[in-house]
Amino acid sequence: MVNGINSIFSSLPTFGVASKNQSNGIFDFDYNAAVKEATQKSQDLLNSLLKPSGAPVTAKSLKQESAAFLTAYTASMKTLDQSADKLRGGNLNKLLFDKDGAVTDATVKNTVDAVKDTVSKYNSTLKLLNDNADRGPGVMKQLARMAASDPASEYSMNKIGMSVNKDGTLELDEARLTAALKSDDPTMRKELTDIIGGHNGVADRIHVHTIYGSTMSSRQLIGNDIYKEQDLKNENPYYQLYQSIKGKAYALNDMAYAGLLLNTKV
């Protein structure tokens, strides 16, 4: 019986403290110490593997990148919509006309600054989408939607000093827009405000883009990342080892039985 127990003990993983009691010649095995030691070693092993150090992408670092992108994407859609909303409908008139209904240098500057801000945020959003296009099909859909459709016709955009670059980003000629907004022709001014903030105007179309983009689910936006993250885990032998020995591992259960038998006095 003793030989059989010793045989079992010798085949167990070497966790914990096992020593031969000098008084009775029986091995003592500290199960609690073994659990603590094995858990710590498995955690240390996993941590050393998952900490980014300029090495290959890990499941943990990819998950962090995905979360950071989702945060940036949500913020980008929100701030772009808020910026465009300042130019839509009656909000544009509040910028361009003072309380007496007059157009002044100050109101024109405020309007141009608002247009400039929307253009800047639009371009930043496009860059964010382009830099993360491979994270999921939703990113590519939103990028294609924004880059493939101009906010207005070339003729209309030219009137407000705006143009579209080859990469889909917008460019604004502030001097041209300023001069156009200072026109004394009411018909011209009405045309300009319609192009900028009217129904289906530049700001309105950007607003539609942000609404569409805001309906994208996380899985659509980072679906590719999710699959990559799981693949990284499945291909990682250290992760599998960690999974097999953390918590109430089978190996430690075997140790418990052996420890009970070895510490029992007959």
In the chain, the N- to C-terminal Cα span, in Å, equals: 12
pLDDT (0 to 100) of residue 67: 92
Given this model, what pLDDT does residue 6 score?
45
**Calpha distance 48→55 (Å, rounded):** 12
pLDDT value, residue 266: 43
The pLDDT confidence band at residue 9, using thresholds 50, 70 and 90, is: very low
pLDDT at 22 over 70: no
233 domain residue, yes or no: no
Same-domain pairing of 140 and 258: no
24 with 147, same domain? no
pLDDT tens readout for residues 181-197: 998 898 999 999 999 99
Task: For residues 70 and 11, state if they share a domain.
Answer: no
135-148 in b/e form (b: 16+ CB < 10 A) is bbebbbbbbeebbe
pLDDT the model gives residue 12 = 43
User: Is residue 22 located within the same domain as residue 85?
Assistant: no
Kindly state whether residue 82 falls inside one of the protein's structural domains: yes
Please tell me whether residue 63 adopts helix, strand or coil conformation. helix
The pLDDT score that the predictor gives to residue 148 is 79
CATH number, domain at 78? Answer: 1.20.120
Domains: count for the chain:
2
- For 53-77, what is the mean pLDDT? 83
Higher pLDDT: 173 or 20? It is 173
> Do both 188 and 138 map to the same domain?
yes
Domain extent at residue 41: 2-51+247-263
Q: What is the pLDDT of residue 11?
A: 44
66 and 24 together in one domain: no
Same-domain status, 116 and 193: yes
Please check whether residues 82 and 214 belong to one and the same domain.
yes
Rounded Cα distance between 199 and 150, Å, is 15
